[in-house]
């Protein structure tokens, strides 16, 4: 068996293999509720053989959504439709996680339906649940003053910060009630927790700004709050932008130091991404973020998830085999081929046992018929 398709255990959860579906915003919810689109979109990845399916960035508070069309988990009514998705994925053999986030100053941004040449009518906006609000952030500074999609946020006061921490903990409690196997705290991509971490966005002068210790305070408080309500037998993941790609911003050594602190607070893996600020765009290329996963894994002694154009099965296997990372996550690659693990496993010499029983015999028959006689 290949290393990529070997089981791995985090706390009390055993994943059937090391393949992960990275969270992908679908901008298809109303009032935070999952619907049939989310059910089918996510369900196919369980059928496709992935070990862990992570649900898209889900707002812990209504004002924490990236857009009005994001999923939410700020009220109990959100639990049932998510539980339906979890149950189906469990039935397909996949573990399921949910990424909990707060967009901060990048909240209340338009989605594709708002960017047409002609603005939507009020009737069209009502039909899709359009909402607009003033976002919050560590400081009253837009994510990108040159981009009209971003507003100038209101700087969070201490009551606002407490609301964020409590919102993450309450959402984690609901995620457990929905049956999720893991929660991923979103502290990457220029969203609220990443905004507090980075000197590019955080210009506070109180205990949440200035030194690295102060700038990590909110992430650590959120992590402690989530871990306190998240079952001890279930793993906890944090997603970091390991680098802002700007010498004046958050750097790899900062992420290694933070990962060690997170590990000490009960975090079991770091999902390693990068970027998120207008001042530090990173050009993507195959496997371009694997060095970040390797640096955090080796520097902090914690399992990591690598992501970023990792669709080559043999390269993915090598990254696991060489100890660069512990998991391989796909987003665009999973959209392009929801059955990527089934195909990659066969490329690496595996059999058809990962296929759903409904399709296993057909796949095996086709292999026999196409084999040289």
What single DSSP character describes residue 23? P
Q: Looking at the 3D structure of the chain, how many domains does it have?
A: 1
Residue 122 pLDDT class (50, 70, 90 cuts)? confident
CA distance 16 to 307: 19
245 CB contacts (<8 Å, ≥6 apart)?
274, 275, 280, 281, 282
Residue 218 pLDDT class (50, 70, 90 cuts)? very high
2 occurs within a structural domain: no
Residue 368 pLDDT class (50, 70, 90 cuts)? low
Token output for 78: 């959100």
What pLDDT digit, counting tens, does each position of 220-260 carry? 999 999 999 999 999 999 999 999 999 999 999 999 999 99
CA angle 6, 292, 70 (to 5 degrees): 80
Q: What radius of gyration, in Å, describes the C-alpha atoms of the chain?
A: 20
Task: Estimate to the nearest angstrom the gap between the alpha carbon of 261 and the chain centroid.
Answer: 20
| Residues spanned by the domain of 286 | 8-370
Token output for 358: 């409904």
Per DSSP, the three-state class of 32 is: coil
312 occurs within a structural domain: yes
In order, the DSSP letters of 182-200 are: EEEEEE-TTSHHHHHH-TT
- The pLDDT of 98-111, averaged and rounded, is 97
Taking the model in full, what pTM does it have? 0.95
Token output for 223: 């992590």
- 59 in Cβ contact with 105 (< 8 Å): no
Token output for 17: 């293999």
3 occurs within a structural domain: no
247 occurs within a structural domain: yes
266 occurs within a structural domain: yes
User: Is residue 117 over pLDDT 60?
Assistant: no
Pairing of the two strands 327-330 and 19-21: parallel
- The pLDDT of 55-60, averaged and rounded, is 98
Cα separations (Å) of 316 from 96, 125, 264?
21, 43, 29
Share of the chain above pLDDT 70, in %: 97
User: Is residue 367 over pLDDT 80?
Assistant: no
Please give the pLDDT value at position 11: 98
Average pLDDT taken over every residue of the chain: 95
Task: Please provide the distance, in angstroms rounded to a whole number, between the alpha carbons at the two ends of the chain.
Answer: 26
In order, the DSSP letters of 47-103 are: HTT-SEEEEEEEESSGGGSSSTTSEE-SSGGGHHHHHHHHHHHHHTT-EEEEEEE--
Per DSSP, the three-state class of 332 is: helix
Angle between helices 313-321 and 340-347 in degrees, nearest 10: 80
Task: Estimate to the nearest angstrom the gap between the alpha carbon of 58 and the chain centroid.
Answer: 9
232 occurs within a structural domain: yes
Token output for 315: 């390269």
- 305 in Cβ contact with 325 (< 8 Å): yes
Show which residues are catalytic: 191
CATH number at 149 reads 3.20.20.70
253 occurs within a structural domain: yes
Please give the pLDDT value at position 115: 66
330 occurs within a structural domain: yes
Please give the pLDDT value at position 360: 84
């Amino acid at each position: 068996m290949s290393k990529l398709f070997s089981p791995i255990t985090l706390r009390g959860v055993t994943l059937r293999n090391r393949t992960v579906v990275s969270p992908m915003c679908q901008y298809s919810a109303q009032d935070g509720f999952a619907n049939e689109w989310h059910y089918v979109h996510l369900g196919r990845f369980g059928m496709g053989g992935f070990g862990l399916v992570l649900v898209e960035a889900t707002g812990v508070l209504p004002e924490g959504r990236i857009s009005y069309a994001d999923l939410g988990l700020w009220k109990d009514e959100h639990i049932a439709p998510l539980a339906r998705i979890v149950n189906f994925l469990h039935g397909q053999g996949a573990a399921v996680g949910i990424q909990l986030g707060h967009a901060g100053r990048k909240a209340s941004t338009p989605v594709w339906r708002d960017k047409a040449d002609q603005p939507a009518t009020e009737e069209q906006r009502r039909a899709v649940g359009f909402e607009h609000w003033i976002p919050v952030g560590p400081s009253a500074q837009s994510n990108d003053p040159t981009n009209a999609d971003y507003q100038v946020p209101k700087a969070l006061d201490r009551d606002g910060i407490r609301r964020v921490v409590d919102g993450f903990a309450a959402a984690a409690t609901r995620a457990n009630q929905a049956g999720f196997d893991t929660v991923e705290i979103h502290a990457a991509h220029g969203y609220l927790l990443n905004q507090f971490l980075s000197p590019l966005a955080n210009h506070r002068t109180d205990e949440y700004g200035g030194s690295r210790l102060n700038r990590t305070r909110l992430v650590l408080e959120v992590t402690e709050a989530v871990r306190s309500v998240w079952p001890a037998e279930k793993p906890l993941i944090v997603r970091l932008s390991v680098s802002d790609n700007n010498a004046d911003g958050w750097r790899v050594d900062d992420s290694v130091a933070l990962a060690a602190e997170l590990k000490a607070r009960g975090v079991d893996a770091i999902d390693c991404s990068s970027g998120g600020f207008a001042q530090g765009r990173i050009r993507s290329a195959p496997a371009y973020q694997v060095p970040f996963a390797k640096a955090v894994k080796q520097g902090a002694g914690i399992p990591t998830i690598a992501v970023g154009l990792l669709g080559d099965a043999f390269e993915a296997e090598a990254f696991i085999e060489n100890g660069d990372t512990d998991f391989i996550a796909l987003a665009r690659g999973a959209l392009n081929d929801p059955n990527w693990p089934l195909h990659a496993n066969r490329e690496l010499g595996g059999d058809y046992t990962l296929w759903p029983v409904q399709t296993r015999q057909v796949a095996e028959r086709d292999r026999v018929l196409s084999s040289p006689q």
